[in-house]
Amino acid sequence: MLNNIGLPGLLLIAVVVLVLFGKGKVSALMGEVGKGITAFKKGVKDGTEEIEKASATSARDVTPESEKDKA
């Protein structure tokens, strides 16, 4: 159903939304959407760093002490 919208349809929807809600409401809404996207990206980055840190600690040297001196 949404495959056929195209550019003219999107422009029409944008104009209708702007008329119904006004410039101030749409601007505030887009600001909130931007903050949400930024928070989501930060959360994904933090999660990725946490996973990498956990895998780095689990990849520690497990060579027995008696074998380390033979090198």
For the entire predicted model, the pTM comes to 0.55
Structure tokens at 41: 């990206």
pLDDT band per the 50, 70, 90 thresholds, residue 69: low
Task: Kindly tell me if the per-residue pLDDT of 7 is higher than 70.
Answer: yes
Q: Is 26 exposed, middle or buried (0-12, 13-18, 19+ CB in 10 A)?
A: middle
pLDDT (tens digit per residue) in 15-31: 998 898 888 888 898 89
Q: Supply the DSSP string of 13-70, one letter for each residue.
A: HHHHHHHHHHHHHHHHHHHHHHHHHHHHHHHHHHHHHHHHHHHHHHT-----HHHHTT
User: Residue 26 in contact with residue 17, Cβ under 8 Å?
Assistant: yes
